């Protein structure tokens, strides 16, 4: 399965959002940000300072979008309006096809942490799983409120990503609840000291690898 860094993935997500907006019509960055907020799209993007403008600059340099005019209204800063190019439309469609069809193994801190969970005690693991659960449950409720409210306004097709995130969130909650039950009942238990002793003994008893030397011909 292909890998992608979270940083490069986020850059692509911002660029994709810009291209999608400009395929609707010409607009300036301020209007792009406003529409992202109204349509709940910013929830899917990591909001770093300048992310939108970095994406615009990269897309313009790549000739996927082009500036068509710069205006100033009163004392407001200048606003540059952009439009998508034919190459930009092609790139937008290419990215969408790839991103939907090809699963990516993007780095996930939770999965990495699970890989090393054995270093916590079962009681400590249960405590932190419970904290995670308490953070996820309000997020699920928030999405349950957003979906019926926005669907009549912008249509289900524009909320499929929220539906997917909700399904993933609910699945994680169900999984966490089951693991918590197993941790609290003692069905899932481990002892890091025993595990470390076993690993050290196994390493000490492992035969040394010897380099193979070819016999002279």
More confident residue, 161 or 74: 161
Question: Domain containing 19 — which CATH number?
Answer: 1.10.10.10
Alpha-carbon distance of 7 to 29, in angstroms, equals 21
Residue 213 lies in a domain: no
> Is residue 115 domain-shared with residue 99, that is, in the same domain?
no
> Is residue 10 domain-shared with residue 101, that is, in the same domain?
yes
Q: Which domain holds residue 96?
A: 3-106
Average pLDDT over residues 60-74: 92
Length of the chain: 217
> How high is the pLDDT of residue 108?
60
For the chain, the average pLDDT equals: 84
As a dihedral over the C-alpha atoms of residue 126, residue 131, residue 136, residue 139, rounded to 10 degrees, the angle is 170
Could you say which of 71, 106, 141 is where a domain stops? 106
pLDDT, tens only, 173-211: 999 999 999 999 999 999 988 988 887 888 788 776 554
Average pLDDT over residues 91-108: 76
């Amino acid at each position: 399965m292909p890998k992608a860094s979270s940083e490069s993935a986020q850059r692509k997500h911002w660029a994709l959002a810009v291209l999608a907006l400009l395929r609707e019509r010409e607009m300036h960055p301020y209007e792009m940000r406003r529409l992202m907020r109204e349509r709940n799209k910013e929830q899917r993007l990591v909001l770093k300072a300048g992310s939108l403008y970095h994406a615009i600059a990269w897309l313009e340099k790549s000739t996927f979008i082009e500036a068509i005019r710069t205006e100033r209204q009163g004392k407001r800063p200048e606003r540059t309006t952009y439009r998508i190019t034919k190459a930009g439309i092609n790139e937008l469609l290419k990215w969408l096809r790839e991103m939907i069809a090809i699963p990516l193994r993007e780095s996930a801190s939770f999965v990495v942490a699970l890989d090393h969970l054995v270093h916590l005690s079962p009681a400590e693991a249960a405590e932190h799983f419970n904290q995670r659960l308490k953070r996820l449950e309000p997020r699920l409720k928030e999405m349950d409120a957003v979906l019926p409210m926005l669907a009549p306004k912008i249509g289900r097709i524009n909320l499929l990503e929220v539906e997917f995130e909700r399904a993933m969130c609910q699945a994680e909650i169900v999984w966490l609840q089951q693991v918590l039950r197993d941790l609290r009942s003692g069905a899932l238990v481990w002892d890091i000291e025993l595990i470390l002793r076993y690993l050290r003994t196994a390493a000490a008893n492992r035969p040394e690898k010897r380099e193979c030397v070819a016999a002279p011909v």
